[in-house]
Structure 1
Amino acid sequence: MRNYLQFVLKERRLLSFGLTFTFFSSFGQTFLISLFVPFFLATFNLSNASFGSLYSLATLSSALSLPFIGKWIDHLPLKRFSLMVAMGLMLAAFTVSVSWHIAVLFIGLLLLRLSGQGLSGHTAQTAMAKFFKFQRGKALSIANLGYPIGEAILPLIITALIPILSWRGAWGSISLTIGILLIPFVLSILSGETADKTTPKALDDNEDSSPGNYSMVLKDKRFYLLLPAVLLPPFWVTGLFLYQVNIAEKLGWSATLIASAFVAHAIARIISSLFVGPAIDRFSARQLFPYHLIPIGLGFLAAYFHPGWWSAFAYMFLMGMTMGISSNLKSALWAEMYGEDSVGTVRSLFASIMVFSTALSPFLMGWLIDHQVPITSILLCAITTVVVATGLATLAFRKELWK
């Protein structure tokens, strides 16, 4: 713990940069946008199905854009790239606030998903993986605390603002907050020595080195073995959380109980994120990655048997553990596999595929529920995919594939 505190104090500028960007990514996340859905439906005369299609299209469009934009973090100084992301997020919130037509709302949602969910988290995690070679795990664990902090406090703030300012006023306030707080923060925190540290030329002493490209990753056998383990946590969590009330009722849990269990999810995400950082630095992400799906698999098992109220807390807590561990492991793993210079390129590719999977998850889960497929059967399918993905990830780390 003493080493942890010393590291935080020494590297507080870059660490605060990472935490701030993961926190501000909340404005493009589903959990926050969902608070405005009833107002979107009423204002634009949309059905749930039509808005769902609009939202999925915006999400898929952002996924298509992410590999082309995200790779530029490997080529531009971090200050310039992060300012572009911050201004994009500010423009996105402003566009939603003034949207007078469904087409304008779509543009706003697209920019929110791209700048918020996509590029803000991408900027934070790529920066931590790039600039902290020997304490990468600790850096990622600190930066990723912005996710659960945003989940914990922003819904309370937004739900209080909407009755006072209206939903448009709330989005206008978000845009203003980004302009007043985030953009000046980037300008001040990435200045002087810190700015010099975060330029591409400072990443490697070898001037002939060049960032990797997508073909390098797509030709790697390990990519295909690791992909299921990378995609499964966000895929299942997105689908299960979106239909959490329906699922809770069928498992004998009340809506109040499952809402309370979200506290356990946030706590688990914070704790696991903090503890996995030093573990990455000691053992490497390569050694830990094959086992990171075990908690979520045990959580699905708890829900499958659902013996009582405590199983809801076990289910949410164990899912939170994997989510906290996963967000740290992945960025560290790409740096170990492909080098620090290529982290942004590689991570943007995986992030794009992940966004596609999270866009498909609600459709698939909704179809299964509409066709009266038992929740226990869905959970059994989830458990099976976890077992298969863990096996494939273990194969990916066989010595002959790393030669």
Structure 2
Amino acid sequence: MNPSNLQGEWRWLGSGFLLMWFSGFGQTYYIAIFAGQLKSTIHLTDGGFGSLYSVATLGSAALLAWAGKFADDISVRWLGAAVLGGLAVTSIGMANVNSPLILGLVFFGLRFFGQGMCTHVAMTAMGRWFNQKRGQAVSIAGLGLPFSEGLLPLFAVGMISLVGWRNTWLVSAALLVAVGIPVLITLLKHERHPTRGPLAKEHDSRVPDRHHWTRTEVLRNPTFYLLMPITLAVPFILTGIFINQVPVAEIKGWDLSLFAASFPLLAIAHVVAALATGKLVDRFSARHLLAVSLTPLALGAAILVYATDPLALPVLMMVLGINLGMSSTTHGALWAELYGIDNLGSIRSIITAVTVFATAVAPGLIGMLMDHGVALEFQLQVMALYCITASLLAYGLRPALDRIAAS
């Protein structure tokens, strides 16, 4: 393969895209569409709903930290199919939810299989399969997420109006079983060439001789923990915004349907930013882009605080889309760049678990603070300042990250 392009790699890039797209059924932006019906059906407050969501997501993060290592040992073809199957089963469970306990179990399954394992398997595969064009491979496969962000909320709103919210989840399960699993198995009929050893020497996936860190070594490295405040910012803040669409719409006096209508703009911005960032990662490295990746998120939080005109919402969604494109591509390539690929699945499982943990804490914490009178606008101001602080931290870590990548 000519390392200057990825034209011959569509099967493997497509498998990553597919897993990222179907992860949407377990992502906050899809689940949040059903928040009103779920709260009404089970009689939950904003804080109660957020706390239940948080506890379930925390449980999924704990399991993910252990289960993520399977990405090192099981082929993407069969592990991915099993993950999509699990997501389908929990989607059926959501269609039959009738109590807080059942809802908590369903949230656990959706978050573990969808947000957790789907994205973990996809991004681990891209990091392992590609080296010279890792940034572009991550950005292309990662496009499944913005396409999902753009289509699934509209799909949910349309299906709810046609068949009701419970049947919408049954349709979701049918798509996973009838489309997702067979297409993934077909795409990966032939496994990608190995990334190391004699068979890798003529492929882009060839990696130079370097130290490949173990998970134990990573956990003993202080710089890893200094990266966590940067890693936590995007999942925490975006989850907080998306899960609170209803309160935001009520506070601002905006029509809730405008959120769903604006998601395609978020998706478009996500796509453009991801593709551009992929090329920048391959040219400058992911570690050198960390410091600027949170800037759009700080701007987005500020817009949401001070904007009153409904027309600000489409602008906000585009800014958040830019942030998603930059951060997903940068972080998708970062861990293989820093720590090598031999143990990438077990290392990334920690990162993914931390990310899921952040999305777990956000709804419960923000909802609890709102229940106790802390204005959402004030919380968003704090989030904007946090992003600025985390960006400065990333800039200060550049020398240490360069040393790790060169080890």
- TM-based fold match above 0.5: yes
| Residues 310 and 175 (structure 1), Cα distance of their counterparts in 2 relative to 1, 3 Å cut | closer
Q: CA deviation at 1:327?
A: 0.7
Question: How far does residue 210 in structure 1 lie from its aligned partner after superposition?
Answer: 10
Is 1:191 matched up with 2:189? Answer: yes
Structure 1 residues without counterparts, runs of 5 or longer:
none
Aligned counterpart, 1:175:
173
Counterpart of 1:70, as a letter, is G
| Higher deviation after alignment, 391-400 or 226-235 | 391-400
8 Å CA contact 1:276–1:328 kept in 2: the answer is yes
Does 1:387 pair with 2:385? Answer: no
Counterpart amino acid of residue 74 in structure 2: L
Match of 1:35 among 3, 27, 33: 33
Of the three residues 110, 113, 135, the one matched with 2:111 is: 113
Aligned residue in 1 for 2:277? 276
Residue identity (%): 34
Alpha-carbon distance in structure 2 between the residues aligned to 1:94 and 1:183: 16
Structure 2 CA distance for partners of 1:82 and 1:374, relative to 1, 3 Å = closer
User: Are the structure 2 counterparts of residues 258 and 42 from structure 1 closer, same or farther at C-alpha, using a change threshold of 3 Å?
Assistant: closer
Aligned partners of 1:78 and 1:198 also within 8 Å: no
Question: For residue 217 of structure 2, what is the aligned residue in structure 1?
Answer: 216
Q: Match of 1:9?
A: 7
- The one-letter code sitting in structure 2 at the alignment partner of 1:92 is T
Q: Looking at both structures, which has the greater relative contact order when contacts are Cα pairs under 8 Å and sequence separation is at least 6?
A: 2
For 2:227, the equivalent position in structure 1 comes to 226
Determine the C-alpha separation between the residues in 2 that align with 1:178 and 1:33: 16
Q: Deviations over 1:55-108 (max 9, x none)?
A: 222111101100111121012222222122122222222333345665444333
Q: Which residue of 2 aligns with 1:94?
A: 92
Look up the match of 2:344: 343
Kept after mapping to 2: 8 A contact 1:76/1:199? no
The letter for the 1-side match of 2:139 is S
Once the two structures are overlaid, the 10-residue window that deviates more, 50-59 or 92-101, is: 92-101
CA distance in 2, matches of 1:40, 1:244: 14
SS of the counterpart of 2:117? helix
Q: Structure 1 pair 160/209, CA: closer, same or farther in 2 (3 Å)?
A: same
User: What value does the CA root-mean-square deviation take over the aligned residues?
Assistant: 3.2
Does 1:70 find its partner at 2:68? yes
Higher helix share: 1
- 2:382 and 2:235 map into 1 onto residues whose CA distance is 15
- In 2, Cα distance between equivalents of 1:257 and 1:7: 39
Measure the CA separation in 1 of the matches of 2:126 and 2:385. 33
- The equivalences for 1:3-402 within 5 A come to 7-44=5-42, 46=44, 48-99=46-97, 102-192=100-190, 195=191, 197=193, 212-247=213-248, 261-306=262-307, 311-399=312-400, 402=404
Q: Aligned pair in 2 of structure 1 residues 99, 317: CA closer, same or farther (>3 Å)?
A: closer
- Once residues 323 and 65 of structure 1 are traced to their aligned partners in structure 2, the CA distance between those partners, rounded to angstroms, is 25
The CA distance in 2 between the partners of 1:42 and 1:253, in whole Å, is 21
Q: TM-score, normalised by structure 2?
A: 0.85
Letter in 1 for 2:320: M
Go from structure 1 to structure 2 and tell me whether the alpha carbon gap of 1:133 and 1:379 turns closer, same or farther (over 3 Å shift): same
**Retained in 1: the 8 A contact 2:305–2:377?**
yes
Q: Using a 3 Å threshold, how does the CA distance of structure 1 residues 198 and 40 change in structure 2: closer, same or farther?
A: farther
> Is this contact kept in 2: 1:82–1:123, CA < 8 A?
yes
- For 2:156 and 2:300, how far apart are their aligned partners in 1? 30
Residues 381 and 155 of structure 1: CA distance in aligned 2, closer, same or farther (over 3 Å): closer
1:303–1:315 Cα contact (<8 Å) kept:
yes
Separation of aligned partners in 2, 1:167 and 1:261? 21
CA 1:184/1:314 → structure 2, altered by over 3 Å: closer, same or farther? closer
Distance (Å, rounded) in 1 between the aligned partners of 2:334 and 2:343:
12
Q: How much has 1:111 moved relative to structure 2?
A: 1.4
Tell whether the 8 Å contact from 1:77 to 1:199 is kept in structure 2 after alignment: no
Offset at residue 381 of structure 1 (A)? 1.6
Give the whole-Å Cα distance in 1 for the aligned partners of 2:304 and 2:31. 27
User: 2:44, 2:88 → 1: CA distance?
Assistant: 25
Which region of structure 1 is more displaced relative to structure 2, 113-122 or 236-245? 236-245
Q: Are 1:122 and 1:347, in contact at CA under 8 Å, matched by a contact in 2?
A: yes
Distance in 1, matches of 2:155 and 2:299, equals 33
* Whole-Å separation in 2 of the counterparts to 1:158 and 1:307: 27
Closer, same or farther in 2 for the Cα pair 1:82/1:389, shift >3 Å?
same
Deviations along 1:267-307, one digit per CA (max 9) or x if unpaired, are: 22111011111111111112212221122223334445548
- 5+ residue gaps, structure 2: none
- TM-score, with structure 1 as normaliser: 0.86
Displacement of 1:219: 1.3
Report the secondary structure of 2:173's partner residue: helix
Contact kept in structure 2, 1:58 and 1:109, CA below 8 Å: yes
User: How many residues align structurally?
Assistant: 397
Relative to structure 1, is the Cα distance of residues 384 and 119 closer, same or farther in structure 2, using a 3 angstrom cutoff? Answer: same
Moved more, 393-402 or 146-155: 393-402
Contact 1:331-1:343 at 8 Å conserved across structures? no
Of 121-130 and 169-178, the range deviating more from structure 2: 169-178
Give 1:13 shift: 0.4
